[in-house]
Structures are given as structure tokens and as C-alpha cells.
Structure 1
Amino acid sequence: MPTTDPTPTHPEATHPETTHPEATHLRATHPHTPPQQKKLPLAGLLALATAVFITSLTETLPAGLLPAMSADLVVSESATGQTVTIYALGTALTAIPLTAATAGWHRKRLLLMAMAGFAAANTVTAVSGDYTLTMAARFVAGVAAGLAWALLAGYARRMAPVHLQGRAIAIAMAGIPVALSLGVPAGTYLGELLSWQAAFLVMTGLTVGLLAWTAALVPDYPGRPRGATPPMLRTLRVPGVTPVLFVTLVFVLAHTVLYTYIATYLTDLGMSGSTDAVLLVFGAASLVSIWIVGALIHRRLRVLTLAAVLLVGVAAALLAVFSDTPALVYAAVTLWGLGWGGAPTLLQTAAADAGGEAADAAQAMLVTLWNVAMAAGGVIGGLLLDLAGTSSFPWTILLLLTPVLLVTLTARTHGFPAVRPGAKQ
């Protein structure tokens, strides 16, 4: 999932080539500019990557545990799928107001509070046998994510020299594909070996370890002065911001419709024993994707974004037509991971570029829409499951990706330009 920081980046982190009137009007600088360094602070960035890993895995872990959770909570699988929806709703409802309310807080304090929230919510989820209590715990986890996603990417940017900020974000965002490639399959396997509750308790243990790591090795940064947050609605008038937000909303929706119910989808294909292997393939491809994006994003953001949409579209087409062939299902999942893995970094960077000096406001809206899409994907996927069955998922993805591709293609001046601001050709 993408992240945003309510604190502005230092002046060198912005692009002087971005001269949109609204972006210029919203210009703001920060008095606390960290000294330039030549290397990335890997210990701190890896801690942020671990925080991203925990938030991503907490959100998506039910996808691999859906049948077992459903049986123990005595509800349908579509109802259990709403544990992903309620998490995303918690984030969507709180990301912007929490960003504003905590703008002046020191960053480390905020990160520690957010991760403590995850530890508490995952513990309650593990010990709960009641569906209502589980949903409440998942909502609290989503609120904690609203805090975490509001600062992680900006935190990474502030820890790095200007010319390495894109790579710093890629390192922090690597927690997402690691969660998908290792976390979800491992959680699924642990759920099958022991119980789904054990998987959530392991998450609590990881979070407690991260709290100590963060306290010891992650640098602190001040918050933003009160009243310095740019108006959200005015940011929408900055050229390029709206196309990026639209692509984010619909692309994430398309992905979530299938991913939330991947275990159920594979069961209907007769591959119920392959869920962990399929998720491992998906996550490994996602890791390759984020490596490619990290290496090329500075100059090839538009090409990479178009490739991401097309790869996921081809994957959906394969699943729609050839899902009766396991080898082609694995091929489709590989393409899906290659397309999706770098998407958080691509979309977040596109929002920052389009917003210019209003990048923090643009990314706050991106976080909110991302989680609206996650919530909507769980609901729509559940409705499709009940009304049309899992075979409708790939066709729904293809339908949703059509406007995503069109908007990405047409937003070539602002939003997804051929040449990024500040990129040397």
C-alpha cells in the first residue's frame, strides 16, 4: 500500500521544473532540512520496510486463511472476506483526518504508536472467536494503518540524500512484495500446520521486535507547523493529480477483487492445496517487479506504469480463458505479480511528481482512495462470489483495467509524463 507524510520534503527534494500555478501557489518549505549524505541509512530504511511488511501482511493475511477463519468464526467466506474490507475502511476513514491531527507530532513517536496499535489489534484477532469482535479489531488495525501510511514514504525520503530518495522509497516499499512473497504464503502454511490464530500471534511478535528496532535505530524528525497543510480540494486542481488518483482508485480495485478471494478462487479451480504456492509465485514476481521499478523509475515512470497495467490485464485474460490449466494459472499469477509489485511505488511517485509542492496533500488523498478501493474490492468481490461465482473475477478485472489504461495513455503531459520532472535524459 502507498504511503504519505504530512511533513513536506526539504527544498531539494522537490522539482523546480514543476511550475503549475496551483503547485506554485501551494509552495511550502520546511526549516528542518537534514544534512546531505552520500549513502542510504539502511538500518533505518529496513526498519521502515519491516513496518510496511507488517501493515501489508496484516491487511492481506486473511486472503490465505479465509476458509479456516470462516469455519471458526461460523460465517460465510464472503463475510470473512469483509475482514479485509473493514481494515481498508479504517484506513480510508482516518488517513486524512489523522494526518491533519498529528501533523505537528514527531515522526518516531507517531510510528511507534501506529505499530503498537498493530500489536494490539493482531493479538485480539488471534484470541477472538467472535465475528463482531474480530471485525472491531480489524477496524482498529486499519486505523493504525492510517497512521503508518501517513508517514512511511515521507519518512524514507527524509532519511535519504536527494538523488537517492526514489531508491529509499523503493527499499521501504519492498516490504509489500516481501509480505506477498513470503509473509502470506508463510502465514497460510502456518495456518494449515497449526491454526490461523497462530499466524496472527506471530505478527504480534514481529511487531514487538520492530518497536525495539525503531526505538533504537530509526532517526526522529519534527512534525509540520500547525496550519501548514495545503487544502486538499485545491490540490485536485493541480494538473495531473486527478488522473493519478483515478488510476490508483480503479487499478487497486481491480487487483483487490481477486486477491481478497484468491483462496476461494483456487478452491473452485480444484487447486485448494496450492494456495501457498500460488501466493509464493505471485510474491516472488512482485519482488522482481519492485527491483525493476527501483532501478528504472527515475526515467521510465510512464513506460513502467503502462507495462504494469498491461501485465495485469494479460494475466486476467489468461485466467478468464485458460483457468482450467494449472500451468497457465501459474503463468498468469507470475504476470500479475510482475505488473502489481511495483505499482505502489509507481503511483506514489506519480502523485508526488504531479502535486509538486503540494505532494503531501496529493499523497494523503492517494492513501485514502487506495483504501477506499481495498474496501470496495472486498465488497464487490463478495457480491460477485455470491451472485456469479469466482469465474467472474478475471472478467471484472479486464473491465476495470480498460479505463485505467486509457487514462494512463492520455495523461502524457501531466500525471504520467514521458519525461519526469528533474529526470536527466
Structure 2
Amino acid sequence: MAPTTASTPLPDTAAVRPRLPLAALIVLALMGFILIAAETMPAGLLPDIADGMDVSEGTVGLFISAYALGTVVVTIPAITLTSSYRRRPLLLIGTLGLIVANTVTAVSADVTLSLVSRFVAGGFSGIIWGMLAMYAIRISPPERAGVALSIMSTGAPLGFAFGTPLAAFIGISTDWRWSFVAFSILGLIVAALTLIVVLDAPGQPPTERLPLWKVFRLRGVPVVLGVIAVWMLAHNTIYTYIAPYLRATGTGITPDLLLFVYGVASLGGVATTGVLLDRHPRALLHGSVGIFVVAALVLLIGHTSPAAVVVATAMWGLGFGGAPAQLQAALTRAGGANSDVANSFLPVAFNIAIFAAGILGAALLTTFDPLILPVVMIALGAAAFVLTVSARRSAFSGA
């Protein structure tokens, strides 16, 4: 579920186009937006879904975990098994499968069926994530592959920034089920646009590459994946259960407002990453994790102050907004000639952390006050910082 960097190797058979297919790349970016928003939308609707289905908020948090688990299980096999398939039919199959599963969640009155439908939705998401980056490359001129990937990759951060707040706004204004319906409708629109403006492309021919387990053991790759897992777990545990945290603060701030603040600030993190990533990758990463930990401290110590909570959330977004691009750049460097295979581990690591966050948060909230959430954010964020510093030569090289 993370954006792909321009350093992905270009296939020799990439289709040559006279101009950049801007409209097609925007459609692919919209697909990325839907994938992220569909995964995280329950975070802004926890109380509404819990009341509507007469279950606990911890159970609703598992809606995100089930989706993430589906992505974890499917992504790498999907990349392996569908690499030779034509791109547009595969994208349409994945999109329609996601729409059907999402619609089942919207109408389901049974929590077990809802969790199964979320798992299936995550599986189709894994199929789509496994092909988006190379699809963008194959329909673009080889010399402009970097620009193509940059455009396509904007969907993921925009999904984090605005997808969850938008779903929360729709759900709070109407009914939580309409949030899922709205994203199913958006998926249908994207499917139609895919047929109209996105060129088809052949699958990838067989290429020589290291086996997955050998790529995983390349110097630096395990450490980068460890940072991804720990930092994402720190982020998503409180992000998923932001509603209980806000109730515990007594500030009166609503989840949709706070998630919007986070989203806008995260765009600042994305922009900062775009400016500094090539020149100062290591310093940028250390600074981002450091800001993230400071934000967690303020969320804990200043939780009774509305201003402090809002400022801390803005810092949180600024620190974490560029994390996917920063960590993918590090993973690409560690993967070297096999960076495309190494990058296939990225959405898996992200979604393992998302899956674990739903379970961890649910377990903590059955025993502790919701203020335990920023404590977890501090502890895991600090662990991520220690990993980035200790591996500054093996995995996080650069200025």
C-alpha cells in the first residue's frame, strides 16, 4: 500500500509512447487513493460502526486488520502469479472484486460476514498493488518512467491524507454504511475511466532475479523492513483508535477534524520528502522519526489541551507523511539490482503492521485507559529511531 519510487528497474519491453499518458496515470493514482482510503476508513467511523452493529470498538478495529491480512496474504503471490497477465483486464478484475467486497461490508448486518468481506477486499487490493507501479511504467515512455511513477504514487498519500477524513465526514453526516457505498461508487467510476483512458499493456516477460528469500537476506533489507513494521505499528495503533483517545482527552475534538488536520500536515511531510530525499535521505529519516516521537509525547502530556492535541497531530502528520517514500527509497537502495522484488515486501510489511495494530489496540483498550495509545506511539517510535541510527551504514546510507 505504499508508493513506488522512480528507481524501479525499467523492463526492456516497456511500451514507447510519444507523450506521457497523464490522464491514465491520474486514473491509476485514483486507484491508489481508493485502496488506501478503503483500508483505513473504519478508523474514522469506529463509534458509528460499533453502535450500528452492536459490537465493541475493538471489534470494529479488526475491520482494518482483516483488510490488511488479506493484502499480506495475497500481494507477493499476486505479483508472482500474474506478472505475465495483460494489465488492464487484471486491473479491472481487481477493481470489480474490491467493489463487490466493499459493498458487502456496506450492507452486512453480521460482523463475521463483514470481517470476511474486509479480508476479501484486502486480497483484491493486494492484486492491484502488485501491478500498479509496473503498469504505469509500461504505458509511459521509458525516459519518463520516473515522472510517471511520481504521478501514479500520489494516490497513496492523498488516501491517507483525505480518504479517512472524507469517509468519517460522510458517515457522521449520514450513516456509516454510506461511506462504504460512496467508495464503491468511486470504484465504479475509476473502472469506467480505466476502460476509457487507460491503455492496455502486456504482462512482464520472465526475467532473471534472485529468489525471494535471497532478496530478503540482502544486506540492509531486513533492517529497513523492521523499521517499516515498527514505525507503522506505532502510527496505526493510535490512528485506528483515534476516537477512544479523543474521548479520553475531554477536548471535544472530533475524529474527522483531527484526521483532517493530520491529512493536511502529512502533505507537508510528502512535500518535504520530495525536496530533501535525494540529497539528505538519512538526515531526513532521522528528523521525521524524531518529530513523530515528539508529537507522541505532546499527545500524552498535553492531552487535556485542544491546542496541544491539534499541534501534536500536525507534527505527527509532518513526521509520518513522507515515511512511505523515505522507507521505499531505503529499501530500493538495499535491494540494488533486485529492488523490484525488494519493493514487493513493502506493502506486506506495512499491512502486517496494520493488522497487528488493530489487534494490539483492541487488546490494550480492554485493559487500559485510551491514553495508553500515545504511550505505545512513544515506545515504538523510539524503537524505530534507534533502528535507523544503528543501521545508518548498512541500510540508511546517505547524507
TM-score norm. by structure 1 comes to 0.87
Deviations 1:161-197 (A, max 9, x none): 6776555434333223322333222221211121011
Q: Please say if residues 248 and 347 of structure 1, whose CA atoms lie closer than 8 Å, have aligned partners that are also in contact.
A: yes
| 1:92–1:146 Cα contact (<8 Å) kept | yes
> Does residue 2 in structure 1 map to residue 18 in structure 2?
no
**Aligned counterpart, 1:200:** 180
Aligned residue number for residue 384 of structure 1:
364
Q: Match for residue 153 of structure 2?
A: 173
CA displacement 1:107-165 (0-9 Å, x = unmatched): 22222222112211111111111101111110111001111221223333455567765
Q: In the alignment, what sits opposite 1:25?
A: none
Call closer, same or farther: CA 1:268–1:159 in 2, change over 3 Å.
Answer: farther
- Residue 395 of structure 1 corresponds to which residue in structure 2? 375
* Residues 322 and 329 in structure 1, CA contact (< 8 A), matched pair in contact too: yes
Cα shift readout 1:297-327 (whole Å, capped 9, x = no counterpart): 2323222222221121111011111111110
Q: 1: CA distance between counterparts of 2:114 and 2:233?
A: 24
Return the alpha-carbon distance in structure 1 between the equivalents of residues 215 and 199 of structure 2: 30
Instruction: Tell me how far 1:87 sits from its aligned partner.
Output: 0.5
- Shift in alpha-carbon separation, 1:240–1:221, aligned structure 2, 3 A: farther
Decide whether the 8 Å contact of 1:316 with 1:394 is kept in 2.
Answer: yes
Look up the match of 1:310: 290
One-letter amino acid of the counterpart of residue 208, structure 1? L
CA 1:387/1:154 → structure 2, altered by over 3 Å: closer, same or farther?
A: farther
Cα distance change on mapping 1:44 and 1:305 into 2, 3 Å? farther
The whole-number CA distance in structure 1 between the counterparts of 2:233 and 2:357 is 5
- Which residue of structure 2 aligns with residue 90 of structure 1? 70
Q: How does 1:313-328 map to 2 (within 5 A)?
A: 313-328=293-308
Matches within 5 A, 1:212-223: 212-223=192-203
CA contact (8 A) 2:14 2:139 kept: no
CA deviation string 1:202-223 (max 9, x = no partner): 1011000101112222233322
Distance 1:290 1:41, change over 3 A: farther
Write out per-residue CA displacement over residues 233-286 of structure 1, whole angstroms, 9 at most, x where no aligned residue. Answer: 101232221221111111111111100101221122224552111111100011
Letter in 2 for 1:35: V
Matches within 5 A, 1:5-404: 9-10=9-10, 30-35=11-16, 40-158=20-138, 165-226=145-206, 228=208, 230-271=210-251, 274-404=254-384
TM-score normalized by structure 2?
A: 0.93
User: When the two structures are aligned, how many residues end up with a matched partner?
Assistant: 397
Amino acid at match of 2:301: V
Distance 2:267 2:314 in 1: 11
- Secondary structure class of the residue paired with 2:14: coil
Q: Percent identity?
A: 37
SS at match of 2:318: helix
One-letter amino acid matched to 1:88 = A
Amino acid at match of 2:14: T
Displacement after TM superposition at 1:198 (Å): 0.7
CA shift at 1:51, angstroms? 0.7
Choose 88-97 or 231-240, whichever is displaced more. Answer: 231-240
In 1, distance between residues paired with 2:57 and 2:224? 33
1:315 counterpart SS class: helix
Letter in 2 for 1:189: F
CA offset at residue 356 of structure 1? 1.5
